[in-house]
Structure 1
């Protein structure tokens, strides 16, 4: 009987220097895929992934295509080693939603790579022309954090897990939110080391440019359900895929609801494909009854293959 699993893909922040290097050395298919990415983008993406420096890999225009290529490289090897794996749905955190669409067949590898490279470049430009920041709120009720966001004129960027919500907006607004957090009963307010205010209104210029790029891209209905971040539900029609991928740039990442939707459909096995195990950690806070297998390199791949083929 085939193993059924939902695929989850990492978002920005999961990147690590060395990502994909052992996979490329062990599997010619991965080396070929990364060579394709280098040629398509016109700069040595794989070299930056393998050798860094971290400052370069962390640039939005670099880490987004790097995470996309890494996730799909892991998937390619996984499918070759577990041929009876049945992918029942996909989802990805922020940038990872594009990888999820590629995995589901919404667009081919090259089309998705071009889109995430443009998305990252547009977001980098928006960061350079605005003064934005992000703040992780640990503890506190969602309603209270939304009130605080409104008071400080910032946006709710990510609803990652119960007790973990991220705010995004102007530097002044985020500083005000951090100063008021304790009075609102929020345990900790942690500034995030990011270049700007992702998933906030300060990304509007990037959103507008990405909408044009998505309009030109060849997109088809995915072969399995893809749960979008913006509405926390599967999207299937081409026009709603374009609309939700566009809206996501300034909209909230509703990760908790996205995972709850998948669990409500009876999914119990999830496979995380990315350089770290962030999504498994979030799932542990959302619902401890489901299983997440995280695959990030050859060692974790081998362990996952042994478990899935058992």
Structure 2
């Protein structure tokens, strides 16, 4: 049985000039329901400063966005995209620079200084890289907005997603929660994942040159040689020829030792704290659940594709559950990008540091149109 949808009411905060600004560029909200069609709504021009309030959401149909037809997408990077010097371009755009100042109040330290000056070892830490990438990626949205035609591009976006951590950035862009609430969640997520990593010896390694079936065979072979506490699994399904394996340290070492015999081109040990997107992150789940339960999460204005199941979700309570599960679930990025392309995606933008996401998209479809917007 399909349920009714409560549409949003929008309350504006005033910026210094007195003009209304918003949480995100709303553009249009459009979706189909099994019983009725809700026409596309122009929710107006906006910025990252808008507060969006929905009425009672008890009757939200989580499948609201399932029939989405993408034309223009914003894609946000995850941990590993960080680089010393990011954030410099953002300082040329007042709205982007303001995000770093607002972030400082929540984080309790100067995130921009870490982004620009490092050192690299500090920026690479899980507790710092995650909030740094989140802020810089949303700053990139403001950098785009400030350029000629930028607002029109933002208004044209009808689907968004992000790689692991980037899912939080995508949800903030889509108005599911405020910039501040998203940053608080990301800060806690980084801390919880670091603590979970510290509790056990674990690691991640990228396997280059094999398809997913071969990588699974490699994991199975490695698991035959280690105890249950060191088992490994595919944690990031990025694209054919590039999959990340997570697990106990001895299991990862077994994977690396066997990779050549499985015809892998190479292995790359990842500079992360531990076995992300596996059961090793289980201690982080309860902390995330507690934080998410007290966070005001709303119906996204456009589809946001989940890393857990490569589907968009509309129900705020489902989104909370999905985000809590995300840290222990394999990232389904390959399926996400393939689905976007198969459904007719014409143009996409990677917003934030690095070009990892663009590289994956191009590997999957050399003819895909994707532009990098850095900050």
The TM-score, its normalising length taken from structure 1, stands at 0.91
**What are the equivalent positions in structure 2 for 1:4-43 lying under 5 Å apart?**
5-24=72-91, 26-43=92-109
SS, match of residue 15 in structure 1? coil
Q: Distance in 2 between matches of 1:22 and 1:47?
A: 13
Greater Rg, structure 1 or structure 2? 2
Aligned equivalents of 2:294, 2:89: Cα separation in 1: 35
2:362 corresponds to: 284
Deviation at 1:5, TM superposition (A): 2.2
| Equivalent runs, 1:37-186 vs 2, <5 Å | 37-81=103-147, 82-85=150-153, 86-151=156-221, 152=223, 153-186=231-264
Using the TM superposition, name which of 187-196 and 103-112 deviates more: 187-196
Corresponding position of 1:240: 318
Equivalent position SS for 1:233: coil
- Report the secondary structure of 1:18's partner residue: coil
**CA offset at residue 141 of structure 1?**
2.8
CA positional deviation for 1:264 = 2.1
1:50-85 per-residue CA deviation (whole Å, 9 max, x = no partner) reads 111111111111111110011111112313432222
User: Contact 2:202/2:275 (CA < 8 Å) preserved in 1?
Assistant: yes
Is residue 210–residue 240 contact of structure 2 (8 Å, CA) maintained in 1? Answer: no
Q: Is the 8 A contact 2:138 2:352 kept in 1?
A: no
Asked if residue 208 in structure 1 is aligned to residue 278 in structure 2, the reply is: no
Moved over 6 A (4+): none
- In the alignment, the residues of structure 1 paired with residue 232 and residue 89 of structure 2 have an alpha-carbon distance, to the nearest angstrom, of 41
> Hey, what's the Cα distance between the residues in 2 that align with 1:7 and 1:279?
11
Whole-Å separation in 2 of the counterparts to 1:264 and 1:237: 25
Q: What is the aligned partner in structure 1 of residue 33 from structure 2?
A: none
Secondary structure of the residue that 2:282 maps to in structure 1?
helix
1:107 Cα shift?
0.5
Asked if the contact 1:233/1:261 (under 8 Å) is kept, the reply is no
Give the whole-Å Cα distance in 2 for the aligned partners of 1:296 and 1:240: 31
> By percentage of residues, which structure has more helix?
1
Task: Report how far residue 33 of structure 1 moved.
Answer: 1.1
Q: 1:195 aligns with which of 245, 266, 273?
A: 273
> For the aligned residues, what is the CA RMSD?
1.5
Q: Distance in 1 between the 2:326 and 2:233 partners? A: 13
| Farther-moved stretch of structure 1 (235-244 vs 99-108) | 235-244
The CA distance in 1 between the partners of 2:165 and 2:159, in whole Å, is 17
Aligned residues of 2:259 and 2:267 also touching (Cα < 8 A): yes
Which ranges in structure 1 are unaligned for 5 or more consecutive residues? Answer: 298-310
Q: Within 2, Cα distance between the matches of 1:112 and 1:11?
A: 14
TM-score normalised by length of structure 2? 0.76
Deviation at 1:275, TM superposition (A): 1.1
